[in-house]
Structure 1
Amino acid sequence: MNTWANWIAVDWGTSNLRLWAIDTQGQVRIERDSDQGMGRLTPNQFEAVLLTLCEGLLDPARTTPVLICGMAGARQGWAEAPYLSVPVALSALGAGGITPLVTSPLIAVRILPGLSQATPADVMRGEETQIAGFAALHPEFDGTLCLPGTHSKWVSLAQGSVSGFRTVMTGEMFALLSEHSVLRHSVGRDLAGDDLDEIAFIEGVRQAWRAPDATFATLFALRAESLLYATPPATLRARLSGLLIGMELAATRDFWEGQKVALIGAGSLTALYARALSEIGAVPQIEDGRDLALRGLCAAYPHMFEP
């Protein structure tokens, strides 16, 4: 029995990519991944990487559609896919995007667009497809989505339309402070398997929530505590995480307060956001984000490749 795909869905990130071979019944037949993310490639390398990952999946007697989301459509990627401006219905993703130049007759490639916002200026690329996947699962949702990450996204979503969003660089700030600032001598390294000091984390969240405008001026106290009181690095690391997430929640209060809130993600970071939100009065639902990009690609596919 052959393994040829009816069409192929691809989520191409900065560091990695995932590929799903979809059969004629719309089911995933094969899933593959690679570490050949956008950050490691030049534009003329994308097609070869894709064809290698598609080995054994392409019917030689036809051209197989390939629908891609994520950083392959960035300015530094395969080809830049223009942004769609909010407010926008997520169904419009399927009508946007670009067709990059390919030389192989075995594939026809389309890359989905990202989303942009004029005021305040903001962009997203890749998350919009996860959001579209969430909307496909919850078409009546009216509230706020949070996608925790290096650059967290807060998104106002109502009945499948995005009215606005905000990006917060909390994850990147945590990495910079814990790895490249003087605090690195005090907060230690994140060791797999270490348990979070939840008390210290919640103390940080509460402190930042009560006085977000003063929190930046308190960060050096973490260094001072380690020198004066030998406070354990794990405790200080948890408090730093709580301070930064608490500042983020204060800065995005206008997005989520009084709204239904859903967190899209998985693992410990999403759990931290859920714990922090619960501490200050919100009750978020958690949606595993692993396969939402695939759902978003499946929702866009009929608009891009089928009449």
Structure 2
Amino acid sequence: MAATTRAPKTWTWKGFKIGYQQQGNAGPAVVLIHGFGATWGHWRKNLPVLGQTCRCYALDLLGFGASDKPKPGAEIDYTFETWGQQVADFCREVAGSPVLLVGNSIGCIVVLQTAVDNPDLVLGVCLINCSLRLLHDRKRSELAWYRRAGAPWLQRTLQIRQLGYFFFRKLAQPNVVRKILLRAYRRPEAVTDELVEMLMEPAGDRGAADVFLAFTSYSQGPLPEDLLPRLSCRALVLWGSEDPWEPIAAGRKFTEFVTVDRFIELAGLGHCPQDEAPEIVNPILQDWLERTSLSLR
């Protein structure tokens, strides 16, 4: 089925406009959460397929995509607790029932935070190439010395307003975004003009640079290993074996948690396999959704 390309719908949360897309009107509810710098459109190849048997929603986190980008600190704090509350309220107000949550990258941390804070609301979670948060204060000691020293310096530099804005403008260029994607993906043919434009468009929104800079300095909050043991539901983990940012060897350690039912290696894929190879990921998600829904009846 063709990818969803319709304009997003709008939901209002705490006075802020939130973008989302929906496919399917029957069956269990599943909510898809994107990664850093992405949008609901990163699920455009998954929505039509999952929507055949589910009420499927893809949500833009506050600060990203078609959602508003209020000023960090002055209007809202961009933390996983904030986004977890946003997702939970969306599930209650829009989905209107307990849900299954699927995340990619930092979206996985949002999914876990939502599930831990709202055990009555989340029936199961799927984590796709979960962010390991390697620049977290508690993780830096594990990095090579040059990364351990360089990351705090870069974070401090980017907090200088003019330098931070300059860096964001240089980063938010089509050729730079394409190079980043070609590193994150292992199938270069998946890095299309459509994908680059989709990720570039929100970068022109008022407040986009402030959100980017706020998150690059966020080295606190939860780690996945803090949240996984606290889940009251079960987790499925998918991992592209060629992810350059979140090494699969570290991801495999998730199997040590009793809340993780299965760990599936996606051979030859990178950081965003749901977009890079939907023909592989969609059947896995469909099977998981069906099995989880049946087990809860």
TM-score (norm 2): 0.32
* Structure with greater Cα Rg: 1
- Larger proportion of strand: 1
TM-score of the pair, normalised by structure 1 = 0.31
Greater RCO between the two (CA within 8 Å, min separation 6)?
2
